[in-house]
Amino acid sequence: MSGPAPAVAASRRRREPSAAVAGTAAAGGLALSTGGQTWVTATAQRPAPLPPVTDQLTGGALAPLVPASGLLLLAAAVALVAVRGAGRVAVGLLAAVAGGVLGWSGLRPLVTDLHVAAPGVLGGATPGSTLDTRVHAGWPVLALIAGVLAVAAGLLTVLRGRAWPGLGRRHERPAGTASAAAPARPRTGEDRALEAWRALDRGEDPTEPAPGATEPR
C-alpha cells in the first residue's frame, strides 16, 4: 500500500515552492498597501491662544520599516524563483526576518502608547501640548497578518527549500524533446522515386539492395 506515497510527496514538492513565492509576494504587496494608509488620527491641543492641530499619520510615517519590508519581500519573492539550494534558504531567512519586523510594526500601534511615537511625526505640535490619538486598527492588523504570512513563507523556504526543484526551469523542455517525440513520416512513392533518381545520379543501381539490408521474403 506504499504506492501513492511517492506521488503525494512529489505533489507536495510542486505545491510548496509556489505557496512560498505567492505568500512572500502577497505579504510584500499588503505591506506596501497598508503603509500608505492612515493608521492614526492625532490631535494636539496646544496652549491658548494656539488652535489645536489634527493630522493623519500613515503607517509609513509611524513605522518606516513597513514599506521597506514590503519592498524587501517583493524582491525576495522574485529571488526565490531565481536561486536554488543554500541561496534559496538565505532568501527564506531574510523573508522571515522581514516578516517579523513587519508584524511587530503592525502590532505596536495596537498595544503601545502612541503618545510617545506620534509627537515626533505630528506637524505643529509644541511643548506643553496634550495629544489625543485614535487608531484605525484595520490597517495595523492587516500589516500584522502580512508579517505572519511572510514569516510562514520564509520558514517554509528555510526548512524545505533545498529539496525544491529550480522554479525557473520547471517548465522548460529538454533540448531535443520535440524532435524525438515527433513520429517519423511514412515514405511515399514520391520519396522512393526521388531516392532512385539520386542513386542513378551517383552511378548506383537503385534496384540493388543497400549493403547490410535484408531482402524481403
| pLDDT, tens digit, 9 for 90 and up, residues 40-65 | 888 877 777 777 777 788 888 888 99
pLDDT at 77 (0 to 100): 94
Residue 200 maps to a domain: no
> What's the Cα-to-Cα distance from 86 to each of 15, 80, 157, rounded to whole Å?
20, 11, 10
Residue 136 maps to a domain: yes
Is 108 in contact with 166 (CB distance < 8 Å)? no
| Residue 175 pLDDT level (bands cut at 50, 70, 90) | very low
Q: Compute the mean pLDDT over every residue in the chain, rounded to the nearest whole number.
A: 78
For the record, the C-alpha cell of 143 comes out as: 500589516
Residue 184 maps to a domain: no
Characterise 40 by phi-psi region: left (phi > 0), alpha (psi -120 to 50), beta (else).
beta
Q: What is the mean pLDDT of residues 156-162?
A: 90
Residue 176 maps to a domain: no
Residue 107 maps to a domain: yes
Residue 85 maps to a domain: yes
> What's the Cα-to-Cα distance from 111 to each of 49, 69, 117, 132, 184, rounded to whole Å?
34, 21, 13, 16, 72
pLDDT at 134 (0 to 100): 83
Domain that holds residue 164: 11-168
What is the largest distance, in Å, between two alpha-carbon atoms of the chain? 118
Q: What is the mean pLDDT of residues 77-100?
A: 93
> To the nearest whole percent, how much of the chain has pLDDT over 70?
64
With a CB cutoff of 8 Å and minimum separation 6, the contacts of 176 are none
SS3 193: helix
| Residue 171 pLDDT level (bands cut at 50, 70, 90) | very low
| Residue 174 pLDDT level (bands cut at 50, 70, 90) | very low
Total tally of structural domains belonging to the chain: 1
| Most confidently modeled range among 101-110, 119-128, 183-192, 198-207 | 101-110
Condensed to tens digits (0 to 9), the pLDDT of residues 98-142 reads 999 999 999 988 887 665 555 555 555 555 667 777 888 899 999
Residue 17 maps to a domain: yes
Residue 29 maps to a domain: yes
